[in-house]
Amino acid sequence: MPTKQDIDAFLAVAQCGSISTAAEQLYVTQPALSRRIGNLEQELSCKLFERGKGVRGVSLTTQGKVFLSIAQKWETVFREAQALHTLDSRPVLKLAAIGSVSAFLLPGILREVTADDAPYRLDFHLCHTAEGYSLVEENLADIAFIDYVYGTQKYATASALALPVYSVPFVVVGGESWKGTQKVSVADLDPCREIRLPWSSSFNIWHDQHFSSGSLFVASLDNASVIKDVIRDDLFAFVPRTEGVRLSSASENMVMLELDGNPPEEIICCLIAANNIDKPHIKHFIDIVKAHVTASPYVQCLL
């Protein structure tokens, strides 16, 4: 079986077209290189190079040209095998989250979980709540942060466990016309000026109790990230407080208003595949999430 040194010798001679030049390139003597090429030809039972009398150069034979392609592939295999020790052996944490969670939670923890000494690598996917369940159940995500629709108790399925992470009340964000206003009641809001966003099922029930489900609205969006491009004048939208803080801080033309009465709360849970719940890198990530959620003044930690 040819060795890596045999392959290197053959490729060098084929590239240089000269045994003496190839020997200089490989830092070996010409006789030593000639012996190695001879041994390789003997191993393969065929002649690889034509060596003409009185001609300093060499050329590939028909078999040599065929073996050239094989040798190049062989070299690639050797190189990839040598690189195995440099591969990152850390597990990959497959994470999915709805938009409001990714905007609130990820900026604070990304630096920590993507550090060189982190015990895992991160693969993130933005999703909706229904998609989050599917991703975890189909093992396409280890953890999915979604709207929690089962109350605040642990909810188990055959393949996943849902743990409440935090709750956050809803507020109102509005355009320039709302400046100077700090709190607003639902009765003060005109449904026809609403930018409608479907949040959790509990929010949608609360919303329809105060605004008819068939009431008019300016626009209906399924992604809160574009609110800043839509809200203006007296338009408004219901958002979790974490989103309200982010949006009002990012735009001088947008304000956050506390909602008078008993606004609903968005409850976020992390859905974890049952076979992953005890894995060290999963526990490590949940600990990081708990620390960041506990430190936030805008949410109530439920972990």
DSSP-derived letter for residue 192 is: G
Res. 155: pLDDT tops 60? no
**What are the DSSP E strand ranges found in 153-211?**
155-156, 160-174, 183-184, 195-196
Where does CATH 1.10.10.10 sit in the chain?
Answer: 4-85
Interatomic CA distance for residues 229 and 139, integer angstroms: 36
In CATH terms, the fold of domain 168-259 is D-Maltodextrin-Binding Protein; domain 2 (3.40.190)
Where does CATH 3.40.190.10 sit in the chain?
Answer: 92-166+266-301, 168-259
Res. 150: pLDDT tops 50? no
**Of residues 262 and 190, which shows the higher confidence score?**
190
Task: Determine the pLDDT at residue 88.
Answer: 60
Confidence at 154, pLDDT banded by 50, 70, 90: very low
Q: Output b/e per residue, 265-289; b: 16+ Cβ within 10 A.
A: bbbbbbbbbeebeebebbeebbebb
Task: Determine the pLDDT at residue 214.
Answer: 62
Interatomic CA distance for residues 49 and 9, integer angstroms: 12
Q: State the pTM of this model.
A: 0.65
- Sign, CA torsion 230/236/238/243: positive
Question: Is CATH 1.10.150.120 correct for 4-85?
Answer: no
- Average pLDDT of the chain is 82
Res. 196: pLDDT tops 90? no
pLDDT over 70 for what percent of the chain?
91
Q: Output b/e per residue, 228-259; b: 16+ Cβ within 10 A.
A: eeebeeebbbbbbbbbbbbbbeeeeebbbbeb
**Of residues 20 and 55, which shows the higher confidence score?**
20
Rg (CA), the chain: 32
Confidence at 86, pLDDT banded by 50, 70, 90: low
Task: Determine the pLDDT at residue 297.
Answer: 92
pLDDT over 90 for what percent of the chain?
3
DSSP string, 269-293: EEEEEGGGTT-HHHHHHHHHHHHHH
Contact in structure between 124 and 106 (CB atoms under 8 Å): yes
Task: Determine the pLDDT at residue 151.
Answer: 40
Res. 117: pLDDT tops 80? no
Question: Is CATH 3.40.640.10 correct for 92-166+266-301?
Answer: no
Task: Determine the pLDDT at residue 301.
Answer: 92
Among 86-100, 123-137, 257-271, the range scoring the smallest mean pLDDT is 86-100
**Of residues 138 and 47, which shows the higher confidence score?**
47
Confidence at 153, pLDDT banded by 50, 70, 90: very low
Res. 78: pLDDT tops 90? no
Among 1-15, 153-167, 221-235, the range scoring the smallest mean pLDDT is 153-167
Digit-coded pLDDT (tens) for 46-56: 999 887 665 56
Question: What stretch of H or E contains 130?
Answer: helix 129-137
Confidence at 152, pLDDT banded by 50, 70, 90: very low
